[in-house]
Structure 1
Amino acid sequence: MKRTLLTPLALVAGLALVAPQVLPEYYVTLANYIGLYSLVALGMVLLTGIGGLTSFGQAAFVGIGAYATAVLSTSYGLSPWLGLLAGLLITGGIALLLGVLTLRLSGHYLPIGTLAWGLSLFYLFGNLPNLGGFGGISNLPNIALFGWTIDSSADFSLAIWALVAAAIWLIGNLLDSREGRAIRALKGGTVMAEAMGVNTARSKLAIFVVAALLAALSGWLYAHLQRFVNPTPFSITMGIEYLFMIVLGGAASLGGALFGAALVTVLKQWLQDLLPHVFGQGGNFETIFFGALIILCLQYARDGLWPLLAARLPQRRRAAAELEVPVEAAALPRREALPANQPLLQAEGLVKRFGGLVANNNMGLTVNSGEITALIGPNGAGKSTLFNLLTGLLPLTSGEIRFRGERIDGLSSRRIARLGVSRTFQHVRLLPQMSVLENVALGAHMRGESGLLCASLHLEREEEARLLAEAARQIERVGLKEHLFDAAGSLPLGKQRIVEIARALSSDPYLLLLDEPAAGLRHLEKQALAELLGKLREEGMGVLLVEHDMDFVMGMADQVVVMEFGQKLAEGLPQQIQDDPAVLAAYLGGVE
């Protein structure tokens, strides 16, 4: 991710240093507003474009930051810096509360929820007498820093764009870390992330609060730039404009936040001057133009205009040193090895009902350490449902699951993963735009400890090197070293399944659950997979696999469990299963 910071940081440096020297006052002021909007848009990129959480209420957080400093500096005579601190604290507290309440919503309910509290806060600003009502608060003091009074457009330009550069650096660091991979996994689906040990609820709340704090910072700067605050700039209409900025610029790119803020700000100013002459009267005609532009962008440039522009700029070739993984980094701590042939997973009387459909009925099995247990049966037999029950993705209707003697039914998939259970999925769940290395490193997420602040300040480099080195070792172990830096989505399906196995192994599990791992593999690739599973068995790992390739299963499984119509049909050694008349009739093609 670090290479993606160079262009936006160069743009920021150019605007901060050159604009006040060569541009007229009007354009410097316009650039300052672009910087203010960029701060909010950067938070929106993190929240919406990368995290997949749509919010219409960011303008309200801008308002909280603005009103906090306005009230404290005018009514109580306190320093604007105390106003900034108060604004951030109040915004953080409100964002935390609203996040806990609204981030539980999904689908279209989440943006509707943000719309509701955005409207509520807007009317709160206008109806509280202590906030000046809709008339607002005026005569805010200037900001002073070590004897430097920030009172001109040129002074504000340096301050605003320095903070924009800092925000880009901090967010870039965050995304290039263990926490950043967890955040980028949110948009691809929380099921996989939770199975890898990611606390997705905490990650969502974290980016929600970070986006709110950036908005409050923008509001603080806006209040002292204008030296006047009223509710109008913090309405839902402005919240929609912030969304316009990242959709047009590029919802998942930091450069897109800057480009989108500049595009919307300049176009809005230009259209407000031009359109009244076209239509012969005043009005918000620019909204119609932006609506049409958004529709065109969603049709022909869904990733935004900045990625299209950046793709046409000269690309710097990365040196080989930049692509090296610190394999010499110290190895991560490993779980204590277990003796072979000890019960790892014991499931008894498992029942799962979906309304009137019984997907699993009195199902049970045992998986031992140092053994490979195969789960076979026709399509629709309930095998994947059983996998989801064992890993906590689905709740049991009744029954009992024990892992190393401890009851785990009722635990979340994240807590089960932390006990030492890892898995792959029937339908591959990778993050296609991320590299193979980053996808596999996501599997080692719970083996790291550095949090959001350490990641943003780049204080977790040693731990990050160890996580990436572990991921690289697992990728080499499964035979995909040459694809280390390839986008995971560019690989054929069979190799994507192998990437999932490497990701699962990165968590250092006791028990590995593989859902159709050989599907899509060629003969030699199946042989390599069989050799890998044999090595895992020798290391004492337990393996439970679902597979339809009977040659593959019978050649390597220690125990075979056969399912039909959600129930156990047979269980035993591979040869016993191949000779069982009931299994032959139900699944293996009948008795000759």
Structure 2
Amino acid sequence: MRLLASLSTKKLQWLLFAWFFLFPFLPVPSFWITLGNYIGLYAIAALGLVLLTGVGGLTSFGQAAFVGLGAYTTAYLSTTLGWSPWLGLPMGLLVSGAAALAIGAMTVRLSGHYLPLATIAWSLSLYYLFGTLEFLGKYDGISGIPPLTVLGVDLSSPRVMYGLIWFCLGGCVWLVLNLLNSRPGRAIHALAKGKTMPEAMGIHTAQYKVLVFVLAALMASLSGWLYAHLQRSVSATPFGLNMGIEYLFMAVVGGVGHVWGAILGAGLLTGLKSQLQDWLPLLLGSNGNYEMLFFGLMVVLLLHHARDGIWPRVTALWAHVHPPEPEVVAPEIAPEGYSDMPRRAKPTPGSIILEVNEARKQFGGLVAVKDMQFDLRAGEIVGLIGPNGAGKSTMFNLVTGVLPVTSGEIRFCGQRIDTLDSRRIVQRGIGRSFQHVHLIPHLSVLENVAMGTHLRGHTDPVRAALRLDRVEEARLLYLAAEQIKRVGLEEFMHTPAGSLALGQQRILEIARALCTDPVLLLLDEPAAGLRLKEKQALSTLLQQLKAEGMSVLLVEHDMDFVMGITDRLVVMEFGSKIAEGLPTEIQNNEAVLAAYLGGIE
């Protein structure tokens, strides 16, 4: 799935939106206008779930509760306290944002099925809170909400409210698209891959999870504010768990990973429910709630045949007419200020930059790394080799902060790093690739590599959403493009990363790691899956990095590749170091030969 559509598809998106926006000016029945109002309201709330669930990978059934917070806030302030309805919007956003911040800080750190269950729990809590508080009218709710007015002009007409609702929806779509096409947006994309890769790029995953949770709640609150002044009354029923599930259905049916899928899903499900309520009583009688049965069955069939939702099918059909063009494109020439971007100074050649001193890692009674000790100097390529299960990747994870050491010390440039997490370690100048590639498959090679530039920029989400980050964004994309050219993937720059061969994906990870401006580069099996010429190109690249003063620590099973490129080798077996020395010395080491059962000749 692709969240940022091609340029030609972008024209289709805005043409469709313009049609919906101009819809009330046509001589259509009032019922259609009412239906369009609810589609717009639901799409705003579903758009928040696209950001939270489709992009960020955080499943929530509680979106309806935040719609209720926005609706009840403006209803109470405008009826009981006599405030202007327009003041109900910022106050609703404030209440919803504060609640989302508090709830999100406690729940988004959960993983697996615990997060959806937590959202169900607090959604039910807020629902019953709406229905039991005396000042909110209990289950009767609040009625007599004043209409919105501008300069004395009443906006309560459904056709006028239609324009306001769709104007707000268009603004939300524009802001979300801008946000996702930016440095913070790439960080949000990375959340779906777990914690290991984003943190290794310097992304504060906990902070961004709370951010997307709050942003989804703010969009829901906006929908609630509009709903309250459209209906002129509120009660607890529309803000329960059932509606929260429907919002998620809308996002999934339209395409949960696609911004425009929120509008399509809201339109399809709202229209479908309306038609079922009309048709089924004529066919089956009015005894029984048959529409929910048929509605659920049709949704299941739809998801069975279009698991990514309807919007990808629409864009695929459109692409046959208008061939796609890449949306995220790096500047062809260095943008202004690119040469002034700070770059890390390389250590003095030959100085020790990495010291592993008696490092041990235990998992219960299993000793994965046992009192390892070695060092690495500036401008040196060191290979960490050994049979499968020797503990090499675990040693990598200790150096990069993915795992804490059980005992011992690890120092980088004279400072201890064994107590630091991955994000702080990469800030100090250690970049890495992974044994099992960590990419966002539907994003382009350029966008994946640009994730490595996160620490090189400073744009906040607000500036990104308002497109005030274009100068910095151009620099970061140009930097990413330069590293892609450096590793030889220029022809695949706008290709989805998931379509590359495994070897090319590993090279992509090297380009991404280089974007972090490392002093020390850790590569976990970089030559796996590469053809002969590609291995030769990788060898040339590593030699070039060495000449520039960069240090490299690599794990690799291709002994011909390792022997031809490394300055020294450290050999592990069963978590312990059994040998260290020059490649020629290691080739004749009896302990190494025994460990490999004659595998090195």
TM range (shorter): over 0.9
Aligned equivalent of 1:312, options 303, 313, 317:
317
- Which among 462, 465, 473 is matched to residue 456 of structure 1? 465
Q: Paired residue for 2:333?
A: 327
Q: Given that residues 581 and 590 in structure 1 are in contact (C-alpha distance below 8 angstroms), is that contact kept between their aligned partners in structure 2?
A: no
Query: Offset at 1:46?
Result: 0.5
Cross-structure match for 1:208: 213
Matches within 5 A, 1:572-583: 572-583=581-592
| Distance in 2 between residues matched to 1:591 and 1:138, nearest whole Å | 82
1:12 aligns with 2:27: no
- Alignment of 1:466 with 2:475, yes or no, is yes
Cα–Cα, structure 1 residues 350 and 443, in superposed 2: closer, same or farther, change >3 Å?
same
1:563 aligns with 2:572: yes
* Contact 2:181/2:328 (8 A) holds in 1: no
Instruction: From 547, 550, 567, give the equivalent of 2:556.
Output: 547
1:353, 1:208 → 2: CA distance?
36
Aligned to 1:267: 272
**1:107-126 alignment to 2 at 5 Å?**
107-126=112-131
Instruction: Indicate the larger mover: 40-49 or 573-582.
Output: 573-582
CA contact (8 A) 2:587 2:600 kept: no
Aligned equivalent of 1:524, options 493, 516, 533: 533
CA distance in 1, matches of 2:327, 2:221: 40
2:439, 2:172 → 1: CA distance?
A: 29
Residue 44 (str. 1) matches residue 49 (str. 2): yes
Amino acid at match of 2:464: A
Which of 287, 290, 303 is 1:285 aligned to? Answer: 290
Which moves more between the two structures, 221-230 or 319-328?
319-328
Indicate the percent of aligned positions where both proteins have the same amino acid. Answer: 56
Match of 1:364 in 2: 373
Q: Residues of 2 paired with 1:157 and 1:360: CA distance?
A: 64
CA distance in 2, matches of 1:230, 1:406: 59
Asked if the contact 1:126/1:134 (under 8 Å) is kept, the reply is: yes
Structure 2 CA distance, aligned partners of 1:591 and 1:293?
60
Question: What is the aligned counterpart of 1:299 among 300, 304, 325?
Answer: 304
The 2-side partners of 1:25 and 1:253 are apart by 30
One-letter amino acid matched to 2:454: H
SS at match of 2:362: strand
Asked if residue 91 in structure 1 is aligned to residue 96 in structure 2, the reply is yes
Deviates more, 1:289-298 or 1:243-252: 289-298
The equivalences for 1:342-381 within 5 A come to 342-381=351-390
Taking the TM superposition and a 5 Å limit, the aligned residue runs for 1:20-59 are: 20-59=25-64
Equivalent in the alignment of 1:490: 499
Distance 1:277 1:348 in 2: 79
Contact kept in structure 1, 2:253 and 2:302, CA below 8 Å: yes
Match of 1:537 in 2: 546
The letter for the 2-side match of 1:327 is: I
CA contact (8 A) 1:340 1:368 kept: yes
CA contact 2:330–2:478 (8 Å) conserved in 1: no
Using the TM superposition, give the Cα deviation of residue 319 of structure 1 relative to its aligned residue in structure 2, in angstroms.
Answer: 6.3
Distance 1:174 1:208 in 2: 14
Query: Are residue 423 (structure 1) and residue 432 (structure 2) matched?
Result: yes
- Residue 581 of structure 1: how far off its partner (Å): 1.4
Is 1:73 aligned to 2:99, yes or no? Answer: no
1:581 maps to amino acid:
E
1:351·1:361 contact (CA, 8 Å) conserved in 2?
A: yes
Aligned length: 592
User: Is the alpha carbon distance of 1:282 and 1:226 closer, same or farther for their aligned partners in structure 2, counting shifts above 3 Å?
Assistant: farther
Q: C-alpha deviations, 1:223-245, integer Å up to 9, x for none? A: 00010111111010000000110
Report the secondary structure of 1:548's partner residue: coil
Aligned partners of 1:443 and 1:504 also within 8 Å: yes
Task: State whether residues 340 and 369 of structure 1, in contact with CA within 8 Å, keep that contact through their aligned partners in structure 2.
Answer: yes
How far 1:536 moved relative to its partner? Answer: 0.7
CA contact (8 A) 2:587 2:593 kept: yes
The residue type paired with residue 125 of structure 2 is S
Q: Using the TM superposition, give the Cα deviation of residue 182 of structure 1 relative to its aligned residue in structure 2, in angstroms.
A: 0.8
Letter of the 2:31 partner, please give it.
Y
Could you tell me how far apart the structure 1 residues matched to 2:288 and 2:396 are?
59
1:443-491 deviations in whole A, cap 9, x for unaligned? 1111110010011000000110000000000011111111111111111
Alignment partner of 1:161 out of 166, 170, 175: 166
| In structure 2, C-alpha distance between the alignment counterparts of 1:208 and 1:47, rounded to whole Å | 6
Q: CA deviation at 1:299?
A: 2.1
Q: Is contact 1:577-1:583 (8 Å) kept?
A: yes
Looking at structure 2, the residues matched to 57 and 590 of structure 1 have their Cα atoms a distance apart, in angstroms, of: 57
Q: 1:21 to 1:549 in 2, by over 3 A?
A: same
TM-score (norm 2): 0.96
For the Cα contact (< 8 Å) 1:428–1:500, is it kept in 2? yes
Corresponding residue SS for 1:439: helix
Residue 346 of structure 1 and its aligned partner are, at CA, apart by 0.8
With normalisation by structure 1, the TM-score equals 0.97
2 CA distance for matches of 1:154 and 1:369? 69
- 3-state DSSP class of the match of 1:312? helix
The one of 246, 249, 252 equivalent to 2:251 is: 246
In 1, are the aligned partners of 2:183 and 2:473 still within 8 Å (CA)? Answer: yes
Could you tell me how far apart the structure 2 residues matched to 1:365 and 1:145 are?
Answer: 73
